[in-house]
């Protein structure tokens, strides 16, 4: 197994911004069942259901622009709590797992304080399916900047899912997949103006086709 972790989104408040923001997103594309993925979300950070629901809608909108639809599964992070039975079958290239984790878990991973999330990278012939976002860090950034937590959280989730669907070396020089977000990217996220570029959207759709073909081949 060659899967490894890729450093995801980093908050870069200390980086100066001198250029104006330019959207890179493609027009909204129609989606169908062939471009549908399932995401099981584990809320280890005990984020409020309302915040998570709104964040999921933000993520939905970003992926929909890229031509992809999402089926969300709410999975219990507590052994004593009942969970969606479908969460027990989050296996295969068309099913992704999102771990929403608290600050102490991020500390144990010894990540820098400004890291918002990480995602797995698949090795040759493999499809990565796990992403982690650090809720407390994102919440603190939203409070510090006075921006919408669901907007920032949902956009961060889209960024980490982008790593899973785009594959290795998927950071870009600007926009949603930029490695370090300055205040400019945060403001754009708050306004719902961060989306995948045309090129990234094409790659994501191609990735989902490849994942589905691999699923059929395994059957």
pLDDT digits (tens, 9 = 90+) for 185-218: 999 999 999 999 999 999 999 999 999 999 999 8
Provide the whole-model pTM: 0.85
pLDDT digits (tens, 9 = 90+) for 84-109: 788 888 999 999 999 999 988 767 76
Whole-number Å distance between alpha carbons of 68 and 147 = 27
Q: Where are the domains of the chain?
A: 4-13+28-218
Enter the tokens of residue 177.
Answer: 């997949």
Residue 31 confidence class, pLDDT cut points 50, 70, 90: low
Tell me the DSSP string of 78-106: STTS---GGGGG--STTEEEEEEE-HHHH
How large a percentage of the chain has pLDDT more than 90?
63
Q: Which residues is 180 bridged to in the sheet? A: 10
Enter the tokens of residue 29.
Answer: 């594309």
Q: Judging by DSSP bridges, how do beta strands 130-134 and 95-101 pair with one another? A: parallel
Q: Is domain 4-13+28-218 classified as CATH 3.40.390?
A: yes
Is residue 26 classed as helix, strand or coil in its secondary structure?
coil
Q: How many residues does the chain have?
A: 219
Direct distance between the N- and C-terminal alpha carbons of the chain, in angstroms, rounded to an integer: 21
Enter the tokens of residue 114.
Answer: 């400004």
Q: Judging by DSSP bridges, how do beta strands 36-43 and 95-101 pair with one another? A: parallel
């Amino acid at each position: 197994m060659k899967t490894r972790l890729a450093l995801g989104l980093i908050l870069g408040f200390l980086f100066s911004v001198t250029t104006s923001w330019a959207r890179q997103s493609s027009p909204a594309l129609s989606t169908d069942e062939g471009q549908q993925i399932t995401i099981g979300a584990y809320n280890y950070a005990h984020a409020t259901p309302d915040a998570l629901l709104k964040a999921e809608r933000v993520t939905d909108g970003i992926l929909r622009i890229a031509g992809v639809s999402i089926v969300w599964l709410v999975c219990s992070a507590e052994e004593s709590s009942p969970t969606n039975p479908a969460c027990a079958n989050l296996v295969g290239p068309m099913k992704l797992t999102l771990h929403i984790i608290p600050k102490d878990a991020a500390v144990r991973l010894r990540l820098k304080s400004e890291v918002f999330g990480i995602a797995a990278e698949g090795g040759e012939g493999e499809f990565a399916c796990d992403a982690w976002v650090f809720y407390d860090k994102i919440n603190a950034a939203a409070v510090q900047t006075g921006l919408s937590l669901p907007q920032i959280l949902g956009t961060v989730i889209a960024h980490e899912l982008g790593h899973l669907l785009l594959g290795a070396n998927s950071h870009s020089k600007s926009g949603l997949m930029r490695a370090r977000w300055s205040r400019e990217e945060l403001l754009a996220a708050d306004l719902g103006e961060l989306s995948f570029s045309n090129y990234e959207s094409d790659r994501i759709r191609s990735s989902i086709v490849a994942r589905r073909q691999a699923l059929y081949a395994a059957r």
